Amino acid sequence: MNHEPRTMNYLIPFFTIIPLGAAFLISLFGKRIKGLPDFLANLGSFSLLALSLYSIFLVIGGRTLVYKVGGWAPPFGICMVLDALSTFMLVTVNLVSFLVTVYCINYMEKYSDKYKFYTLFMLMLAGMNGIIITGDLFNLFVFLEIASISSYALVAFGTEAEELEASFKYAVMGSVASSFILLGIALLYSYTSTLNMADISGVLAEKQPATLVNFIAVLFLAGFGLKAALVPFHAWLPDAHPSAPAPISAMLSGVLIKVLGVYALMRIFFNLLGVNNTILSLFLFLGAISMLVGVFLAIGQWDFKRLLAYHSVSQIGYVILGIGLGTPLGVLGGLFHLFNHSLFKSLLFLNSGAVDYSLGTRDLQKMGGLREKMPVTAATNLIASMSIAGVPPFNGFWSKLIIILACLQVNRFGYAICAVLASILTLASFMKVQKYAFLGKFSEKLKTIKEVPLAMKLSMVILAIICIFAGALLLPLFKGFLDSAVNVLLLNNYKEAVFKAAI
Amino acid sequence: MKKNEPGMTLIVKTITRLTVGLILLYGIYIVLHGHISPGGGFAGGVIIALSLVHLMLAFGKDFALKKISEATASILESLGALMFLLIALLGFFGGYFFLNFFLGKGEPFKLFSAGIIPLCNIAICLKVGAGLFAIFTILVLSKGKEKSKE
Amino acid sequence: MSEYLLCLFLLCIGLYCVLRKRNIIKIIIGLGIIEYAVNLFLVLAGYRVHGRAPILAKDQEILNIVDPLPQALVLTSIVIGLAITALVVAIAIRIYEKYGTFDITKIRRLRG
């Protein structure tokens, strides 16, 4: 029993091989053979989903699997690490990506050059998967850049004037952040003379605490904080996410800011640099400000997607607040809210894309009474709005409840009150969306719209069903999935686990 | 006065005819000796792309596009990336991804040594060279709806 | 020590260009200066005193060489910088076609 999963190590690099191969095959043959890009992209993301669901069974019990690329043992070579936290993030990313890829079959007919879209999409997916499974710091930077550059190009895909402006702003701010991250990596390499993440955590644990490590921590917080859209660094998000085509907005808001920002922050701060109370209170402070600023700016918006983009800022604040508490219950709430937010935020953006596909507008004041003509979209939007607002028994309620209880558990009443206030205002703004878009009187000039095609309906319905039942992850039968992810962060044995598994 | 010919003056065109082949040869040399001396795939690919850009600057874009069209550049680019991925996958036969398995190791400082590294260099040179030439072509022809990616 | 301060000075100049200049092309140049500064810092981090170039030659012994790992990292980083510059320049050309100007204070249709 101890030897059997170890021989399955060779599956780990396939998380990057499959999307890279699909991307370049689509780029080579996509123009000539019709229907090949759709088929290859969906096949690729479905196989990634199957692989990540299978890898849940490989890491049951908190086991860590390590794959040595090229046969070089760490710390000399690059290694790929699969532990419980990586599996959790892989399932989140690949589930949302598969459903968005199904949605893209119909939605992207309106744009030209669909095969170029799929190439960039698969490259972005390869970058995100690579960040999650890597165990080497510079490898993380390279995959981060692959994913970021693909997303800059994808935001500008429609080449309207506003999309180009938003993409330019996003590209400049994103590359400054990447330069800060590279500067931090350079400083860390010169301090510890190794690039392997497990080895760095071992070396830093032995040396005396130095001011240089605090400077490196601030550089990483600024760099990855901008990728995660925390509040002083969030200015690119309200322009970039609405301007992108709707499936790309769903991917950006749903998974990209989480993998590039929150996952990298968790891995680097909890496993490499080591947390102390200063860093945890910085996380709490930034999380609370993000929650409040995001939701206050969101209420006054009349553009459907801009409102959703501001809500992304606010909900990421919830996740950072939960993680910043540092207790097992807090980190559990943060991770569970990350999973839930991927689901309902992608569903909300896909809904706005469906409305855009049928109507051609995103302005809430021009819609009204869409419930009669687009019943599936209206029903899934109702489910997603109730999830994000935290209405029981949908999944948003459970994760927000855990975060608020965890705040009360450590006697931080101010943060708990902030969380409740943000939740109430979220409910208010989604009541506004429901009233103006779906309920109300049906205006006559919208008589000719129809419901969206089958592929788009299918992906929205599947996401809505998972939203309803995701609360079941807290049942004792499935709770081990979340608990082992929490344990990877909070127990201090990243180095021993990796080196023991690498033999 | 003269008609409006594409490209630059006669002196530039004559010198270009002499030097373009040498630049291409130099680029190939840097790529192939990547495991013995500094250089390798990236630097060699850039030099090969520069030889084509030189041709385009001196003779006008139609002449250079007749040599290598945009479609050819796009195909070469994807082929380079797929070749790299294939070489990496072949390492699986030796047991690990990216294993240095090919044809024995040879002695140091010879041209046929160091396993798969020269093949990887050639794949990277194809991708970087074709990619840079495609980027330059697209930025120069700023009509059309192509989006410049890497 | 003074080389590292020079790198930091270059980084600050690049950051000033990105933040305060109004022309899109000057912002792109500032972005390039930031990349140069960080790559220079990464190469300097591998310097050893009295080291020579890390190339094996047939008849010399392997004594003091500088660290070759940052040089490999910088190679990758330069290519990433090339890709970003190419993408941003292409976006800037399209922005000029749509808006008619390179002045970022006039390219502000998205607000709120």
What is the distance in angstroms between the Cα of B69 and the nearest Cα belonging to chain C?
20
Q: List pLDDT tens digits, range B42-83.
A: 999 999 999 999 988 888 888 888 888 888 888 999 999 999
Among B149, B80, C88, C99, smallest CA distance to A160 is for: C99
Q: Is B42 on the interface with C (CB under 8 A)?
A: yes
Reduced to 3 states (helix: H, G, I; strand: E, B; else coil), residue A382 is helix
Among A242, A444, A277, A217, smallest CA distance to A362 is for: A242
The tokens for A348 are 């909300």
Counting as low any pLDDT under 50, the low residues of chain C are none
How many residues can be counted in chain C?
112
CB-nearest partner of B148 from C55, C58, C86: C86
Average pLDDT estimate for A237-262: 89
Note which residues in 45-84 of chain B have CB less than 8 A from chain A: 74-75, 77-79, 81-82
The tokens for A171 are 């590209």
Of the spans A424-438, A439-453, C25-39, which averages the highest pLDDT?
C25-39
Whether B150 sits inside 8 A of C90 (CB atoms) is no
Considering only CB atoms, which chain A residues are within 8 Å of C112?
Answer: 238, 300-301, 306
Considering only CB atoms, which chain B residues are within 8 Å of C90?
Answer: 135, 138-139, 147-148
Q: Tell me if the domain spanning C2-106 has CATH number 3.40.1280.10.
A: no
Considering only CB atoms, which chain A residues are within 8 Å of B150?
Answer: 149
Residue B78 contacts residue B130 (beta carbons within 8 Å): no
Q: At what angle do helices A114-133 and A137-155 cross, to 10 degrees?
A: 160
For residues A377-412, one letter each, b for 16 or more C-beta atoms within 10 angstroms of the residue's C-beta and e for the rest, the string is bbebbbbbbbbbbbeeebbbbbbbbbbbebbeeeeb
Q: Is C89 on the interface with B (CB under 8 A)?
A: yes
- What lies within 8 Å, CB to CB, of A425 at 6+ separation is A295, A296, A298, A299
Whether A164 sits inside 8 A of C15 (CB atoms) is no
Q: What angle do CA A26, A31, A37 make, to 5 degrees?
A: 40
pLDDT level of residue A129 (50, 70, 90 thresholds): very high
Is A434 buried (19+), middle (13-18) or exposed (0-12) by CB count in 10 A? middle
- What sign does the dihedral C16-C22-C27-C33 (CA atoms) show? negative
Whether C93 sits inside 8 A of B139 (CB atoms) is yes
pLDDT at B147: 46
Query: Would you say residue A9 has pLDDT above 80?
Result: no
Lowest mean pLDDT among A151-160, A437-446, C78-87, C93-102: A437-446
Q: From CA C25, how far away is CA B95, in angstroms rounded?
A: 49
- The count of CB pairs under 8 A between chains A and B is 52
Query: Would you say residue A478 has pLDDT above 50?
Result: yes
Q: List pLDDT tens digits, range A224-248.
A: 999 988 888 888 988 888 888 889 9
Average pLDDT estimate for A170-175: 94
Interface mutation vs chain A, best among C76, C87, C96, most A CBs within 10 Å: C87
Q: Is A61 on the interface with B (CB under 8 A)?
A: no
Average pLDDT estimate for A464-483: 78
CA of residue A230 relative to chain centroid, distance? 14
Reduced to 3 states (helix: H, G, I; strand: E, B; else coil), residue A252 is helix
Among A295, A182, A179, A186, smallest CA distance to A234 is for: A295
CA of residue A418 relative to chain centroid, distance? 23
Q: Is B9 on the interface with C (CB under 8 A)?
A: no
Q: At what angle do helices B10-32 and B117-140 cross, to 10 degrees?
A: 150
Q: List pLDDT tens digits, range A398-423.
A: 888 989 999 998 888 888 898 899 99
What is the distance in angstroms between the Cα of A359 and the nearest Cα belonging to chain C?
21
Average pLDDT estimate for A314-325: 90
Lowest mean pLDDT among A247-251, A312-316, A418-422, A489-493: A489-493
Average pLDDT estimate for A363-377: 77
pLDDT at A205: 85
Q: Which residue of C has its CA nearest to B39?
A: C75
Q: List pLDDT tens digits, range A29-78.
A: 888 888 888 889 999 999 999 999 998 888 877 788 888 887 777 778 88
Whether B81 sits inside 8 A of A24 (CB atoms) is yes
Q: What angle do CA B2, B5, B9 make, to 5 degrees?
A: 80
In order, the DSSP letters of A41-65 are HHHHHHHHHHHHHHHHHHTTTT--E
Considering only CB atoms, which chain A residues are within 8 Å of B120?
Answer: none
Residue B103 contacts residue B90 (beta carbons within 8 Å): no
Average pLDDT estimate for A91-114: 87
Among B85, B119, B31, C52, smallest CA distance to A27 is for: B85
Q: Is A79 on the interface with B (CB under 8 A)?
A: no
Residue B23 contacts residue B54 (beta carbons within 8 Å): yes
Cis peptide before A232 (omega within 30 of 0): no
Instruction: Give chain B as a 3 state SS string.
Output: CCCCCCCCCHHHHHHHHHHHHHHHHHHHHHHHCCCCCCCCHHHHHHHHHHHHHHHHHHHCHHHHHHHCCHHHHHHHHHHHHHHHHHHHHHHHHHCCCCCCCCCCCCCCCCCCCCCCHHHHHHHHHHHHHHHHHHHHHHHHCCCCCCCCCC
Average pLDDT estimate for A474-499: 76
Query: Which residue is listed with tokens 């891995």?
Result: A267
Quick one: how many helices (H) and strands (E) in chain A? 21, 2
Element (H, E) at A68: strand A65-68
What is the distance in angstroms between the Cα of A188 and the nearest Cα belonging to chain C?
10
Q: From CA A442, how far away is CA C78, in angstroms rounded?
A: 56
**C-alpha separations of B120 from A157, A191, B80, B127 in Å:** 32, 32, 9, 11
Whether A71 sits inside 8 A of B99 (CB atoms) is yes
Whether B98 sits inside 8 A of A10 (CB atoms) is no
- What lies within 8 Å, CB to CB, of C33 at 6+ separation is C10, C13, C14, C17
How many residues can be counted in chain B?
150
pLDDT level of residue A93 (50, 70, 90 thresholds): very high
Output DSSP code: residue A67: E
CB-nearest partner of C89 from B109, B139, B150: B139
Whether C80 sits inside 8 A of A145 (CB atoms) is yes
Q: Which residue of B has its CA nearest to C84?
A: B150
Phi/psi of residue A79, each to 5°?
Answer: -120, 155
What is the distance in angstroms between the Cα of B65 and the nearest Cα belonging to chain C?
20
Considering only CB atoms, which chain A residues are within 8 Å of C31?
Answer: 172, 175-176
Q: From CA A501, how far away is CA A489, in angstroms rounded?
A: 18
Which residues does residue A79 pair with via DSSP β-bridges, in sequence order? A68
Q: Is C31 on the interface with A (CB under 8 A)?
A: yes
The tokens for A201 are 């955590």
Is A305 buried (19+), middle (13-18) or exposed (0-12) by CB count in 10 A? buried
**C-alpha separations of A303 from A316, A432, A489, A490 in Å:** 20, 12, 38, 41
What is the distance in angstroms between the Cα of C34 and the nearest Cα belonging to chain A?
7
Q: List pLDDT tens digits, range A377-392.
A: 888 888 888 888 888 8
Residue A239 contacts residue A342 (beta carbons within 8 Å): no
CB-nearest partner of B98 from A70, A119, A156: A70
How many residues can be counted in chain A?
503
Considering only CB atoms, which chain B residues are within 8 Å of A27?
Answer: 74, 77-78
Which chains have at least 3 CB atom pairs separated by less than 8 Å from chain C? Answer: A, B
Q: Is C86 on the interface with B (CB under 8 A)?
A: yes
pLDDT at B148: 44
Q: Which residue of A has its CA nearest to B100?
A: A70
pLDDT at A2: 43
Q: Which residue of A has its CA nearest to C34?
A: A179
CB-nearest partner of C109 from A161, A238, A306: A161
Query: Would you say residue A115 has pLDDT above 80?
Result: yes
Residue C27 contacts residue C73 (beta carbons within 8 Å): no
Cis peptide before A393 (omega within 30 of 0): yes
pLDDT at A50: 93
The torsion defined by the Cα of A154, A159, A161 and A165, in degrees rounded to 10, comes to: 30
Q: Is C83 on the interface with B (CB under 8 A)?
A: yes
Residue B44 contacts residue B34 (beta carbons within 8 Å): yes
Note which residues in 20-39 of chain A have CB less than 8 A from chain B: 20-21, 24-25, 27-28
Q: From CA A165, how far away is CA C97, in angstroms rounded?
A: 12
Average pLDDT estimate for A110-127: 88
Q: From CA A369, how far away is CA A470, in angstroms rounded?
A: 30
pLDDT at B108: 62
pLDDT at A110: 79
Q: List pLDDT tens digits, range B91-150.
A: 765 555 555 555 555 566 666 666 778 888 999 999 999 999 999 988 887 654 444 443
Q: Is A377 on the interface with B (CB under 8 A)?
A: no
Residue A229 contacts residue A316 (beta carbons within 8 Å): yes
